Amino acid sequence: MSQIVESWASALDGQYIDMDGYGDPTAQCHDIWLSYLVSVAGGQQFQGYAPSGFTDSVFTSFPVNGVDSVVTKHYGTAGIRAGDVVFWGYGSQYYPYSHVAVALAEPVGGYVACLTQNPGVAHRESLILAGALGYLRPIRDISDSGVTPEPIDKDKPVEYISGSRNNGTQVVSGGNKPWIYLNDSNHTSFAVGAGDFQITTTVDLHGTAGTRVALTAYRVKYVNGSDVEEVFLEEIDVTLQPNGRARRQLVIPHRLPSSEWRTRVRITVPQGASPVTVGRFSWKGHKWNL
């Protein structure tokens, strides 16, 4: 499995994932698909919506919402590999209301190891393939060569990194693009110092429905109290949903070459757009020392 898929799966494993506030409970299997679409496949959340309200309609009605720009459709289960998104049909024996999960390996004996959710939190489980319709495969290169900018040596000492900011007081007006801050406006870096990093950030946004913003990760060189260089890492576009809310994840595999470097996320609100509030901001991942 590629490191980018493993990093995404590890970040979500054991958590309730709710990307759209839909359903009861709100942490549905469909939220795993939406998270993967945005964080790994490079799509936008609206592209992953199910036209019928049941998750299998993403597959049966394909292409809808322009999702064919980021994934391809494949019938059956014989070709499934790690990183494919598997759909089970409505009315199937084991998933009568349909189901979706992300494969973490090739199938073995009629089962496939997946990251799945509902029942329960996001977790790894081998799911029976009976009733599976097929799978969607990201068009972008999600292999280590295509996504990870630097190879990571897992034999080196590892440090677990995590944290969150919950005060929800950072309001960004149209035409501005500040760093998302952690505890106050003077703290914006959640990874610092030389190392290889695999970090997933989760951002909750609030504002006017339909407002579009960008979330962009950078590594920043900080010398004598000033930023002297910014290097682009990853970016996703976000559209606030009809309830004025959005939750997005940004997976950031990268290397910081020395102690002068740190990692930040910037939010960009277009000129003329309504203000957007950054609510909860959290990060979770690992650092391998150089």
Round the average pLDDT of the chain to a whole number and report it. Answer: 86
Q: How high is the pLDDT of residue 282?
A: 84
pLDDT at 261 over 60: yes
Flag the least confident range among 82-96, 147-161, 242-256, 269-283.
147-161
Q: What is the mean pLDDT of residues 33-53?
A: 89
- What strand order describes the sheet that includes 191-192? 191-192, 261-268, 212-223, 226-239
Q: How high is the pLDDT of residue 156?
A: 54
Q: Which two tokens stand for residue 257?
A: 């070459």
CA distance 53 to 215: 28
Q: What is the mean pLDDT of residues 1-9?
A: 81
170 and 208 Cβ atoms separated by less than 8 Å = no
Estimate the crossing angle of helix 29-39 against helix 3-12, to 10 degrees: 140
Q: How high is the pLDDT of residue 290?
A: 67
Q: Which two tokens stand for residue 268?
A: 């960009």
Q: Which CATH number fits domain 152-288: 3.20.20.60, 3.40.50.720, 2.60.120.40, 3.40.50.10860?
A: 2.60.120.40
pLDDT band of 167, cuts 50, 70, 90: low
3-145: CATH topology is endopeptidase fold (from Nostoc punctiforme) (3.90.1720)
Percent of the chain with pLDDT over 70: 92
Long-range contacts of residues 104-110, Cβ cutoff 8 Å, at least 24 apart: 104/1, 104/5, 104/6, 104/9, 105/1, 105/81, 106/80, 106/81, 106/82, 107/77, 107/80
Q: Which two tokens stand for residue 105?
A: 């390996």
Closest CA to 135 of 81, 97, 98, 181: 81
Model pLDDT for residues 18-41, shown as the tens digit of each residue = 887 776 777 899 999 999 998 889
Q: Which two tokens stand for residue 246?
A: 């959005």
Flag the least confident range among 45-49, 134-138, 156-160, 194-198.
156-160
More confident position, 247 or 102: 102
Partners of 226 in beta bridges: 223
Q: How high is the pLDDT of residue 149?
A: 40
Residue ranges per domain, the chain? Answer: 3-145, 152-288
**SS3 per residue for the chain:** CCHHHHHHHHHHCCCCCCCCCCCCCCCCHHHHHHHHHHHCCCCCHHHHCCCCCCCCHHHHCCCCCCHHHCEEEEECCCCCCCCCEEEEEECCCCCCEEEEEEECCCCECCEEEEEECCCCCCEEEEEECCCEEEEEEECCCCCHHHHCCCCCCCCCCEEEEEEEECCCCEEECCCECCECCCCCCCCCCCEECCEEEEEEEEEEEECCCCCEEEEEEEEEEEECCEEEEEEEEEEEEEECCCCCEEEEEEEEEEEECCCCEEEEEEEEECCCCCCEEEEEEEEEEEEECC
CA distance 78 to 169: 49
Flag the least confident range among 95-99, 162-166, 210-214.
162-166
Q: Which two tokens stand for residue 122?
A: 């996001």
